[in-house]
Chains A and B, each alone.
Chain A
Amino acid sequence: MKSDLNAVYVIVAREFIKFVRERGRLISTLARPLLWLFLVGGGMSRMVSPDMGMPYMQFIFPGIIGMTILFSSIFSSISIIWDKEFGFMKEMLVAPVSRFSIVIGKALSGTVVSTLQALIILFLFPVIGLKLSIIQIFLILGISIILSFCLSSLGILIATFYESFESFSVIMNFIVMPMFFLSGAMYPVKLLPHVLSFLTKINPLTYGIDALKYMVFPEKKLLTHDFPLSLDIAVIIISSVIFVAIAAMVFERKK
């Protein structure tokens, strides 16, 4: 038990050290949401009529926070594939620690790193003309933490099925990008045709971004949240548990 807790600590500390040490990684992961927010959001703001209740750039702000969390969580988790290929995972697997603690450690390290990045993006709110109270900021932080944990767990689950780096672009193009576009980040879910709207409803990120919208825009408007907050939170937590459980099971299985 003690060494299981130690294992969780080691995995989180390792990820954190690397996060701090590799400045380039931090800058590059922050570049993506910034480009979307200011270049895509800024450009689209001129096309989308402001009588929908808010400027487009403000509308996508919760989505951009969700995007930051999505990419950073998935990247952090699928580093498991590199660890498998480059050996460090073997060091973990032959240590007297449970597979479950490795999964939890990895999920928590993704959570820490993603939440930190989400926070950095969050503090851009005054730049795009939003006003947030301290309470709102803490609520957004709370949602960011559970959403990061959920998506990191999903990333681990994905990583358990791949053995080599070649799968990287498959994961990017067929899982991560569709998840982002079908999450209500860029346009309201309710405007989508039926088939696509079904896909958004099985996407955990949709509920995370919906919850973030709820926190950023507490008053109900045309462009704000689509689901009740309790549903959002329930989906995030339940799917996290499912992802972690399956990942731990797959991990436990020996060849």
Chain B
Amino acid sequence: MPIIAVENLTKRFGNITAVDSISFEVEKGTIFGFLGPNGAGKTTTINILCTLLSPTSGKASIDGYDCMKESSEVRREIGIVFQDNTLDKELTAYENLLFHSYLYNVPKNERKGRIDDALNFVGLYERKDDTVKKFSGGMKRRLEVARSIIHQPKILFLDEPTLGLDPQSRTNLWEFISELPKRHDVTIFMTTHYMEEAEICNKIAIIDKGKLIAQGSPDDLKKMVGGDVIYLQTKDNAWAIDEIKKNLNLDAEEKNGEIFISVSKGDACIPKLINTLADMVLSVRLQRPTLNDVFLKLTGKAIRPEAVSGGDELKESIRSYRRKFDRG
């Protein structure tokens, strides 16, 4: 049984259809990527799955529980890292996690152990008694990931977990995230703008304007835009093309002094090519389609991360405005 099942899910806000009759399934223990441009309906779908919104029509269930009718069972099973930070900045890292463990009814004798483990896991143990407002963006995200696994959820939702982070923090965060299914036996449901990040997914669904337009493994999706291409330079191209056709039964052509060969699994093909042509080979280059190519083909536009919005800054200034008001 799939751990997440969505059937003909539709959500309208007034006359805007944010999510338009989408269906998909996510298998237990996998990483599922939900990709799409801004405003495609990703966050709306997550909000329905985590019981914050009720759909206009259709079904959504998590581990067999209905997201609308059995919302408290669903909430117990899931952990979420939202797009916007939901930590309390005035509290320490430890307090944020401690309060979370209360909300999810973590047994008293396990609280400290689980919190320490989670903090160690994301490398923030040394900073546990600092208030969150002193943390950098990347540290806050890591802390949110740590918090989301305290209650040992079966499914973890990550909505744009790396949005607005610098490349180093992004890499750092993915190290933790990609380890989660192995270490904690969770299923991950994530959205991201960064196509290279989606490569770690077992399955991907692409959503555009509220509709699901493709789903499958990253490799399946890439096949939609054609397979790999191997570029080859040899001492004698005409001879080499002959040999390739004869021995490997592949179609090879010469172009600009290079031989190019379209194959489905380029990486597996290269050793065979080298075996066949031996020391006649001068250079080999493999070009694979990227998820970005897939995306471009399906939606007609390249997916781009939002220019890191002034949103956070704005919110900070609102905060200080509020403080002034409080005191006034």
Verify B90–A93 contact, CB threshold 8 A.
Answer: no
In the complex, the number of residue pairs spanning A and B with C-beta atoms less than 8 Å apart equals 94
Cα-based distance from A234 to B328 in the complex (angstroms): 33
B99 close to A13 (CB less than 8 A): yes
Q: A88 contacts the other chain (Cβ, under 8 Å)?
A: yes
Q: Can you list 8 A-B contacts with CB-CB less than 8 angstroms, sorted by A residue number?
A: A3-B102, A14-B95, A28-B328, A31-B327, A90-B52, A91-B103, A95-B100, A165-B322
- Within 8 Å of chain A (Cβ to Cβ): is B75? yes
Does A174 touch B at the CB level, under 8 Å? no
Please measure, in the bound complex, the distance between the C-alpha atom of A97 and the C-alpha atom of B104, giving whole angstroms.
8
A2 touches B105 (CB 8 A): yes
Q: How far is the CA of A93 from the CA of B86 in the complex (A)?
A: 11
B-contact bits for A223-255, CB 8 A (1 contact / 0 none): 000000000000000000000000000000011
Q: Which residue of B lies closest to A95 (CB)?
A: B103
Closest CB in chain A relative to B296 CB, distance in Å: 33
Are the CB atoms of A14 and B99 closer together than 8 Å? Answer: yes
A98 to B322, CA, bound (A): 29
Query: Which of A14, A24, A87, A98 has the largest number of chain B CB atoms within 10 A?
Result: A87
- Please state if B327 and A6 are interface contacts (CB–CB under 8 Å): no
Q: Do B84 and A94 touch (CB < 8 A)?
A: no
B residues sitting closer than 8 Å to A (CB atoms) are 50-54, 72-73, 75-76, 78, 80, 82, 84-88, 90-91, 95, 99-100, 102-105, 315, 318-319, 321-323, 325-328
Partner of A96, one of B76, B91, B321, B328: B76
A87 pairs with B51, CB closer than 8 A: no
Report yes or no: B327 in contact with A28, Cβ–Cβ below 8 A.
yes
Which residues from A are CB-within-8-Å of B326?
25, 28-29, 75
A21 and B90 contact, CB distance less than 8 A:
yes
Which B residue's beta carbon lies closest to that of A87? B86
Q: A7-B103, A91-B87, A254-B53 are in contact. List 7 more A-B contacts (CB 8 A).
A: A28-B326, A28-B327, A29-B327, A90-B52, A90-B82, A96-B73, A168-B322
Contact B52 A94 (CB under 8 A): yes
Q: How far is the CA of A86 from the CA of B90 in the complex (A)?
A: 12
In the complex the two chains form, is A90's CB within 8 Å of B318's CB? no
A31 to B326, CA, bound (A): 11
CA distance A24 to B323 in the complex (A): 10
Set of chain A residues within 8 Å of B103, measured between Cβ atoms: 3, 6-7, 10, 91-92, 95-97
Q: B319: which A residues are within 8 A, CB to CB?
A: 82, 86
The interface on chain A, measured as residues whose beta carbon lies within 8 A of the other chain's beta carbons, has a size of 38
Residue of A nearest to B50 (CB): A94
**CB contact under 8 A between A165 and B318, given known A6-B102, A17-B91:** yes
Which residue on B lies nearest to A32, using beta carbons? B328
C-alpha gap A3/B82 in the complex (Å)? 22
Taken together as a complex, chains A and B put the C-alpha atoms of A227 and B25 apart, in Å, by: 65
CB distance from A145 to the nearest CB of B (A): 23
Among candidates B54, B82, B327, residue contacting A87 with C-beta atoms closer than 8 Å: B82
Contact residues in B for A93 (Cβ distance below 8 Å): 52
* Bound: A29/B327 CA distance, A: 6
| In the complex with contacts A13-B99, A255-B53, A94-B75 CB distance below 8 A | yes
Q: Are A91 and B100 in contact (CB under 8 A)?
A: yes
Q: How far is the CA of A254 from the CA of B53 in the complex (A)?
A: 6
| B91-A90 in contact (CB<8A) | no
Judge if A163 is at the interface, Cβ distance under 8 Å. no
Given contacts A3-B104, A10-B103, A28-B327, contact A96 B53 (CB under 8 A): no
**Contact residues in A for B95 (Cβ distance below 8 Å):** 14, 17
Q: Are B105 and A6 in contact (CB-based, < 8 A)?
A: yes
Closest to B147 in A: A91
**Complex contact B315–A96 (CB within 8 A):** no
CB-CB contacts of A114-139 with B at 8 A, as 1s and 0s?
00000000000000000000000000
- The distance in angstroms between the C-alpha atoms of A172 and B104, with both chains bound, is 36
Does B322 lie within 8 Å of A254, measured CB to CB?
Answer: no
Is A165 a contact partner of B321 (Cβ separation < 8 A)? Answer: yes
The smallest C-beta distance from B101 to any residue of chain A, in angstroms, reads 9
Chain A nearest Cβ from B159, distance in angstroms: 11
Contact A87 B84 (CB under 8 A): yes
Q: Which residues of B contact A91 (CB under 8 A)?
A: 86-87, 100, 103
- CB atoms of A255 and B54 under 8 A apart: yes
Inter-subunit contact B72/A96 (CB<8 Å): yes
Instruction: Check A10–B82 contact: CB distance below 8 A.
Output: no
> Which residues in chain A, 1-38, are within 8 Å of chain B measured between CB atoms?
2-3, 6-7, 9-10, 13-14, 17-18, 21-22, 24-25, 28-29, 31
Q: Which residues of A have CB within 8 Å of B102?
A: 3, 6-7, 9-10
Query: A residues 139-178 with Cβ under 8 Å of B?
Result: 165, 168-169, 172
A7 to B103, CA, bound (A): 5
A161 CB to closest chain B CB (Å) equals 18
Asked if residues B322 and A82 are in contact (CB atoms below 8 Å), the reply is: yes
Determine which of A2, A24, A97 lies in contact with B327 in the assembled complex, contact meaning CB atoms within 8 Å: A24
Docked pose: A94 CA to B103 CA in angstroms: 10
Q: Which residue of B lies closest to A31 (CB)?
A: B327
Partner of B91, one of A14, A25, A86, A169: A14
Mark each residue of chain A from 94 to 108: 1 if its CB lies under 8 Å from any CB of chain B, else 0: 111110000000000
User: B92's closest neighbor in chain A, by CB?
Assistant: A17
Closest CB of chain B to A178's CB: distance in Å? 18
> Could you say which of A3, A17, A75 contacts B105, with CB atoms under 8 Å apart?
A3
* 4 A-B pairs closest in CB distance: A28-B327, A87-B86, A95-B103, A96-B75
